[in-house]
């Protein structure tokens, strides 16, 4: 299984053999499960204080008053401390001790990751995610190492994506920004935006310049997570690999 190798100016330099991992049989069901496991495990624990609702002084008036012998606040008839009372404690409030981490079999995680990587080479899967894939381009897009090593400014990064015919997908992401519906606007998640290109290399310093472009993500081979390969649990991310990153990917088990 081969794909084209592109130079810094977007020209085809030759062909390069794809690692065996790209021949993995796609498993969209495991990709969705793995994404859900990772997302749910990243939740921050929250909960009320264990003594919430118990920091009240209640007195039992004792028998002979014609009322139930339950703790009440001094000088009033308001019952306190118990969950069944109005203004009482919460019966089953959230607790920070709850285990939020989800588990998944190691073999299933491996299959899910390999499937997500394999789907980056499928034009049908990439287009199904909504990416703009120009005719005649081979996926995944593989570029020579010097194509990224010489990029130091955002303007150069923009020009590089334009030369390999991927800039239209970045524009799609830029135009997709909209205001989130619901309570998320109050919680620091005001806007939603479609994902664009994922650029995978071996040196993080060569990739940082791309982070300012709309919808573009960067990753090294060691940090290639399912959240970047399959945002939302859907495989087929439009991905650019450097030549050295692709060779290093063949060593990943």
What are the start-end ranges of the E strands in the chain? Answer: 2-6, 12-17, 141-143, 178-179, 191-192, 198-201, 217-220, 239-242
Tens of pLDDT, residue by residue over 47-64, are 999 888 888 888 888 898
pLDDT average, residue stretch 196-221: 93
Cα(141)–Cα(241) distance, rounded to whole angstroms? Answer: 6
Question: Are the C-beta atoms of residues 117 and 249 closer than 8 Å to each other?
Answer: yes
- Domains, the chain, ordered by start: 2-43+103-249 (3.40.1370.10), 45-99 (no CATH)
Q: What is the pTM of this model?
A: 0.87
Tens of pLDDT, residue by residue over 10-31, are 899 899 999 999 999 999 999 9
Residue 14 region, left (φ>0) first, then alpha (ψ -120 to 50), else beta?
left
């Amino acid at each position: 299984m081969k794909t084209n190798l592109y130079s810094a100016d977007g020209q085809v330099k030759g062909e390069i053999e794809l690692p065996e991992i790209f021949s993995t049989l796609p498993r969209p069901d495991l990709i969705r499960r793995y994404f859900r496991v990772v997302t749910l495990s990243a939740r921050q624990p929250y909960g009320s204080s264990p003594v919430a609702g118990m920091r009240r002084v209640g007195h039992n008036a004792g028998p002979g008053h014609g009322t139930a012998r339950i703790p009440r606040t001094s000088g009033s008839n308001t019952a306190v401390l118990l969950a069944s009372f109005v203004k009482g404690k919460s019966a089953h409030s959230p607790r920070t001790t709850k285990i939020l981490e989800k588990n998944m079999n190691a073999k299933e995680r491996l299959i899910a990751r390999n499937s997500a990587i394999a789907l980056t080479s499928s034009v049908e899967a990439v287009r199904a995610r909504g990416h703009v894939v120009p005719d005649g381009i081979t996926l995944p897009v593989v570029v020579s190492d010097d194509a990224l090593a010489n990029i130091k400014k955002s303007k150069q990064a923009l020009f590089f994506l334009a030369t390999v015919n991927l800039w239209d997908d970045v524009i799609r992401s830029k135009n997709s920004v909209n205001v989130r519906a619901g309570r998320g606007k109050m919680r620091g998640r005001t806007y939603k935006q479609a994902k664009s290109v994922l650029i995978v290399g071996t040196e993080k310093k060569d990739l940082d310049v791309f982070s300012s472009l709309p919808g573009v993500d960067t990753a090294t081979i060691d940090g290639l997570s399912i959240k970047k390969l399959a945002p939302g649990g859907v495989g087929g991310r439009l991905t650019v690999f450097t030549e050295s990153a692709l060779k290093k990917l063949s060593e990943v088990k």
